[in-house]
Structure 1
Amino acid sequence: MPSELLHAAERAKGFMPPEEGSALFETALRYGPLGPICEIGTYCGKSAIYLGAAARQAGSVVVTVDHHRGSEEIQPGWAHHDPALVDPRFGKMDSLPVFRATIAAAGLEEDVIAVVGRSERVAALWNTPLGMVFIDGGHSDEPVTLDYEGWAPHVMEGGALAFHDVHPDPADGGQGPYRVYRRALESGAFAEVAVHGSLRVLERVGQGI
Structure 2
Amino acid sequence: MANTTFNDIWKRAQHISSPYMPKEHAEILYRTAFQNPGTIVEIGSWHGRSSIILGNAIKSSGVGHLYCFDHWNLIEGAECIMDQDIWKSWNDHIADWQLQKVVTPFRAYSQKSAKQWPSDKTIDLLFIDGWHEYFESGPLVIPPEDIQKYGIKGWLKNGEIIPPEDHQPIFDRGAKVDFDMWAPKIRRGGVLILHDLHSDFPGVLKVWQEEIESSKEWTIKQSDNQIGIAEKL
User: TM-score over 0.5 for the alignment?
Assistant: yes
Please, what is the CA RMSD of the aligned residues? 2.1
Identity %: 26
Secondary structure of 1:158's match? Answer: strand
Paired residue for 1:24? 29
- Tell me, which stretches of 5 or more residues in structure 1 are unaligned? 72-85
Partner SS state of residue 11, structure 1:
coil
How far 1:3 sits from its partner (Å)?
Answer: 4.5
Q: Which residue of 2 aligns with 1:162?
A: 193
Tell whether the 8 Å contact from 2:6 to 2:30 is kept in structure 1 after alignment.
no
Contact 1:43-1:70 within 8 A present in 2 as well: no
Normalized against structure 1, the TM-score is what?
A: 0.81
Query: Which has the greater radius of gyration?
Result: 2
- Rounded to whole Å, the distance in 2 between the matches of 1:117 and 1:18 is 28
User: What is the rounded CA distance, in whole Å, between the counterparts of 2:194 and 2:74 in structure 1?
Assistant: 18
Q: Secondary structure at the match of 1:110?
A: coil
1:12 to 1:91, Cα distance in 2 relative to 1, 3 A: closer
Which runs of at least 4 in structure 1 moved beyond 4 Å after TM superposition?
A: 91-94
* CA-CA distance at 1:57 after TM superposition: 2.2
Asked if 1:102 corresponds to 2:133, the answer is: no
Unaligned runs of 5+ in 2: 136-173
Task: Tell me the SS of whatever aligns to 2:205.
Answer: helix
When you count strand as a share of all residues, which structure comes out higher?
2
Alignment of 1:158-197 (within 5 A): 158-167=189-198, 170=199, 173-185=200-212, 186-195=214-223, 197=225
Q: Tell me the number of residue pairs that the alignment of Structure 1 and Structure 2 aligns.
A: 183
Deviations 1:182-201 (A, max 9, x none): 12212322111124511111
CA contact (8 A) 2:6 2:27 kept: no
Q: TM-score, normalised on structure 2?
A: 0.73
Q: Whole-Å Cα distance in 2 between the matches of residues 107 and 125 of structure 1?
A: 27
Look up the match of 1:79: none
What SS class does the counterpart of residue 14 from structure 2 fall into? helix
For 2:229, the aligned partner's letter is V
CA offset digits 1:88-136 (Å, max 9, x no partner): xx45874211101111112212221111100110001112101000000
